[in-house]
């Protein structure tokens, strides 16, 4: 269970390690300063109906109540230790999981933890202005819930850096507060986390796709032979489910509202749909294409010796590693990757170990496509022929073998001229973004929704939809 009497709530017996406790209590005000400077705009006085972790067991971890976000109890929570846990893959498979950092893996582990940690505050920075245009109190509350939990995920990585990486770790923890999303001189590490999340359609797409990268990366790290990382990630995953729910249901509600209006007025032409103040399905498809492609880049290069090293040394596994029926060493095994050859996309067999970024990306893509199918059922039920689809994974890539090629969403290799002629049909144009921006405006009356989005089917924690999720004070 979690100790809430400490300055830093935790279930890691923090008070027994005074040096560590002092170091983290020193980092804490810097974190709060960062939240104040870079966290949700103009939100400090609001009382927000948030859930807070009270235990890390799967049944009863959530407590709901109205809190001011700066008073949220950010803390350090690890999932229960597994008895006698082993390293389950790679060269050291079968040995006891590490409770401390093996010297030879120190640099790689630190890099993985820093990269993971960097994404968490980055997303808060990307979303900081969205509270000003929330389409309902319900949505504003969900945004803030995600923001405080991403803040806690930063705490999770900072704890590991402070406890296991000495002075370097403390310096990295400071740097996590100094890099900023989109900053010219000191940007966040991964590209998608320097993009803007300019409006709520982008936010729902981000939480559907990009938080799902979080799901897959955290699952891979939950397999780690470094047990404290595994336990941290296992608890983070329980929070991640809500983030993806907000994305999936958010996009579904946008679609629902659009198709309701289309049916009611008997229109299908995007210009006519826009004239009715809702987001046309074609624009939703372009946003989907953008967020999908930017997110698949997050898995790294298709051929990566880093990925092979992380796996062979037991640091980062595959999604559901222990459920897989193979030798968990993968030497001499192969995987089919896609590449551009003779102006076509073609498959090629390559060593599996070097393809583990691609393996994880393909797992992610399968999971993503399932939800797109659920969105299509909303359109189908309305009796409309339009269907959303995931673009080819080679589309709009900036990392890996497809970077520098122009590929259409249906997987054709294009000339620069063909790309230029079609880009605005495939990716959100300035005009699309301006239209979506024109719809954004804060709706604060309990239970009321902006015109472009349908209400959710149910509220949060069994509260009614018109519950006062946010008190503005």
Binding mask 282-301 for ligand BYC (x = CB under 6 A): ---------------xxxxx
For Fe ion, the closer of residues 169 and 214 by Cβ is 214
| Alpha-carbon span 242 to 252, nearest angstrom | 15
| Alpha-carbon span 145 to 151, nearest angstrom | 10
65 binds Fe ion (CB under 5 A): yes
- CA dist 80 → 145, 235, 293 (Å): 24, 9, 36
Greatest distance between any 2 Cα atoms in the chain:
68
Contact 205, 213 (CB under 8 A): no
- Interface region with Fe ion, contact rule CB under 5 A, candidates 85-93, 144-152, 183-191, 453-461: 144-152
230 binds ligand BYC (CB under 6 A): no
Burial of 36 (0-12, 13-18, 19+ CB in 10 A): exposed
* Binds Fe ion by CB under 5 A, chosen from 243, 291, 328, 393: 243
Nearest to 155 by CA among 11, 253, 279, 44: 11
344 beta partners: 341
* Binds ligand BYC by CB under 6 A, chosen from 92, 120, 139, 432: 120
Size of the site for ligand BYC (CB under 6 A): 25
197 binds ligand BYC (CB under 6 A): no
150 binds ligand BYC (CB under 6 A): yes
For residue 413, what is the DSSP state? E
Q: Smallest distance, Å, CB 44 to Fe ion?
A: 21
Contact 441, 342 (CB under 8 A): no
229 binds ligand BYC (CB under 6 A): no
Q: Smallest distance, Å, CB 401 to ligand BYC?
A: 11
* Binds ligand BYC by CB under 6 A, chosen from 69, 307, 379, 453: 307
Q: How many CB atoms lie under 10 A from the CB of residue 45?
A: 11
142 binds ligand BYC (CB under 6 A): no
Q: Which does 307 bind (CB under 5 to 8 A by kind): ligand BYC, Fe ion, none?
A: ligand BYC
Both structure tokens of 354: 């070097």
For residue 86, what is the DSSP state? B
* Binds ligand BYC by CB under 6 A, chosen from 88, 116, 142, 408: 116
Q: Smallest distance, Å, CB 345 to ligand BYC?
A: 20
For ligand BYC, the closer of residues 21 and 40 by Cβ is 40
* Binds Fe ion by CB under 5 A, chosen from 105, 153, 257, 397: 153
Q: Which does 69 bind (CB under 5 to 8 A by kind): Fe ion, ligand BYC, none?
A: none
Q: Which does 43 bind (CB under 5 to 8 A by kind): Fe ion, ligand BYC, none?
A: none
Helix (H, G, I), strand (E, B) or coil at 36: helix
* Binds ligand BYC by CB under 6 A, chosen from 119, 133, 258, 312: 119
Both structure tokens of 248: 């999936």
C-alpha angle with apex 252: 247 to 258, nearest 5 degrees? 130
| Alpha-carbon span 392 to 362, nearest angstrom | 11
| Alpha-carbon span 123 to 101, nearest angstrom | 28
Q: Smallest distance, Å, CB 209 to Fe ion?
A: 11
Q: Which does 116 bind (CB under 5 to 8 A by kind): Fe ion, ligand BYC, none?
A: ligand BYC
Q: Which does 52 bind (CB under 5 to 8 A by kind): Fe ion, ligand BYC, none?
A: none
Contact 142, 40 (CB under 8 A): no
215 binds Fe ion (CB under 5 A): no
Q: What are the E-state strand segments in 141-263?
A: none
The dihedral sign for the CA sequence 5, 10, 14, 20? negative
Binding site for ligand BYC (CB under 6 A): 112, 115-116, 119-120, 123, 150, 190-191, 210-211, 213-214, 217, 297-301, 304, 306-307, 316, 357, 399
């Amino acid at each position: 269970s979690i100790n809430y009497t400490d300055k830093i709530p935790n279930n890691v017996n923090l008070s027994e390690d005074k040096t560590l406790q002092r170091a983290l209590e020193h980092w804490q005000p810097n974190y709060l300063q960062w939240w104040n400077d870079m966290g949700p705009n103009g939100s400090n006085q609001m009382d927000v109906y948030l859930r807070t972790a009270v235990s890390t067991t799967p049944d009863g971890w959530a407590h709901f109540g109205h809190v001011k976000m700066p008073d949220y109890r950010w803390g350090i929570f690890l999932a229960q230790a597994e008895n006698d846990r082993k390293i389950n893959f790679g060269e050291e498979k079968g040995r006891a999981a590490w409770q401390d950092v093996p010297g030879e893996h120190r640099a790689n582990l630190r890099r993985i933890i820093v990269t993971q940690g960097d994404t968490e505050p980055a997303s808060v920075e990307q979303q900081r202005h969205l509270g000003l245009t929330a389409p309902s109190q319900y949505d504003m509350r969900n945004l803030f819930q995600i923001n405080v939990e991403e803040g806690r995920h930063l705490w999770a990585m900072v704890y590991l850096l402070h406890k296991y990486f000495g002075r370097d770790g403390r310096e990295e923890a400071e740097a996590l507060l100094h890099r900023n999303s989109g900053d010219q001189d000191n940007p966040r590490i991964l590209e998608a986390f320097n993009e803007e999340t300019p409006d709520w359609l982008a936010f729902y797409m981000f939480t559907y796709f990009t938080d799902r990268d979080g799901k897959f990366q955290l699952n891979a790290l939950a397999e780690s032979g470094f047990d404290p990382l595994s336990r941290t990630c296992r608890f983070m995953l329980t929070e991640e489910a809500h983030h993806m729910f907000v994305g999936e249901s958010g996009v579904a509600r946008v679609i629902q509202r659009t198709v309701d209006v289309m049916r009611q007025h008997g229109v299908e032409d995007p210009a006519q749909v826009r004239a009715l103040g809702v987001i046309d399905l074609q624009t939703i498809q372009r946003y989907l294409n953008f967020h999908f492609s930017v997110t698949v880049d997050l898995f790294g290069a298709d051929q990566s010796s880093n990925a092979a090293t992380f796996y062979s040394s037991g640091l980062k596994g595959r999604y559901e590693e222990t459920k897989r029926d193979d030798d968990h060493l993968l030497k001499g095994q192969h995987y089919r990757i896609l590449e551009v050859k003779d102006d076509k996309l073609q498959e090629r067999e390559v060593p599996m170990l070097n393809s583990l970024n691609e393996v994880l990306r393909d797992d992610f893509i399968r999971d993503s496509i399932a939800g797109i199918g659920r969105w299509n059922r909303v359109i189908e039920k309305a009796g409309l022929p339009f269907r959303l689809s995931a673009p080819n994974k080679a589309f709009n890539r900036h990392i890996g073998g497809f970077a520098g090629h122009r590929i259409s969403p249906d997987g054709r290799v294009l000339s620069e001229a063909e790309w230029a002629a079609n880009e605005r049909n495939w990716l959100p144009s300035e005009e699309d973004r301006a239209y979506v921006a024109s719809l954004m405006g804060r709706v604060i009356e309990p239970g009321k929704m902006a015109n472009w989005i349908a209400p959710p089917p149910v509220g949060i924690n069994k509260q009614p939809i018109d519950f006062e999720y946010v008190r503005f004070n």
